[in-house]
Structure 1
């Protein structure tokens, strides 16, 4: 495992030969060139990541990092903090939105307690608790620098274990009341913009609560002064444990040529941190959907990623990432079962 300082993490380049070979394969299928649109683009991207045209897409795992946020004492969310641990149990029982979607997508779900503010536990809940939630970012740093680094290491180790156990595609999700407030602070710090430019409604809060949320995020930025050139400083001062977990998972996946599907706004925020550690990380990330949160477009523009669909989702958990997974199965079926132009002795002419 390498160090996590800014611009120091070396990742192998994408396999351009495999990507180009996949382009030739999809162009040779019995259809007009590019007629499958961005599905063809996805095939080429995956070939570059996996360094093969024999795509490995069957074994899928969603890593859900769960943690609480001290900033919830500022009443920035419509949801009480206890929902984090309750939903962790519900998710493991198969009863949350993403758990239901994962059943349909044949995706394994792992829930990692990286900082839930509760002593409750459940069978299969992975205990990697760093602390019982972060501190209140409106009053001071969320965590220590050591805790920030630990969260990344936990995410890395979790993803690596999944890969070593046969996972061929990873996705990241989260549980944590108050995390859109934290994500807004992280995005604002990374992009060096004001809170009002990125803060959204999160759990469908009222206009009055939105104005309050904006002021709290701006207060956090002003009080903590996160260094925009230091991703660990940003994570420590205004982030959350689940953000670090996602960063580590992204780095592990990229290092081991494993596609990792992003979810929404919380994933974008974590990806911005990962990008500051390893600038080429976005080559290995697969965007799923456009989050309905306000700061999403700004974050995606910085990442240079264009999601594949927009259903105005904002539920989190990894729902959008899992919704993309059936596309991978469909893509594999196309590559396996479609005739080629050569099979049919057809020469395609524009």
Structure 2
């Protein structure tokens, strides 16, 4: 591999593709070599995303028209769920791959089939995939050829909960996650339920007790606990473009309180560039992470003894998708982890 990392983005016309381009353009060590978008094939990047018209990038092409992968180092797959498996299976072995869909996140292919409505199409490849929650899987990511980028909803809660479960400070089987996301999490495709008149001036829960990120959350919490961990997870759609705020209710162990939990998280994430633990009763806001790769974590004591409330905030398109994917690429290639990601949040 040359000093310049040559990148292909498959599915470059969606919100996540746009974020990958926006962030990678700030890294002089990266070249955008291939951008695919079947429905927008032949168009320039500026025609699809006017805000990115100044980015040096090739025209968009159809995936099937990319026949020479020899000059590419890394592929980001930002394709719809259940479409990525055959695409990645057909890529040359020399490519590093970060998949931003759900196609390789679930280790058990039978669980995948139950939740995504069909059999896994690359089960042998699934065995090699690493679940890419960067701060908690860095060593495995560094050795991986294929990284399954975590879902946007699981990222904040897992960063908050997994160290606390591993340290025995909370009860794994008594966790409730109440999460609220901006509309961009539903993608860029035209959908009636996402029209302004359908979404604005209101909030609603959806996929209650049936959201596809539930098995992903439970898979990782179970790994931290060493046994099966059921959770209650309820997502909500709120009328904002970006951000996820997760309010997490836990039962504590060994007389632990919110200060104990925050102290443990502070130790665990010391030196981490993108995870910030808040103290003094401060709680995160989505406006404090907008446009950045940050995850903010706060905690307070519940009024009920032996219980605490954790709150996390991320930008769903950055730390919840494109930013974490670039962070994983950097780890896979042994590059500075903050390359392309040293952007402060946008406020207001």
**Same fold, TM exceeding 0.5?**
no
Higher relative contact order (CA 8 A, sep 6+): 1
TM-score between the two structures when normalised by the length of structure 2: 0.30
TM-score between the two structures when normalised by the length of structure 1: 0.30
Question: Which structure dedicates a bigger proportion of its chain to strand?
Answer: 2
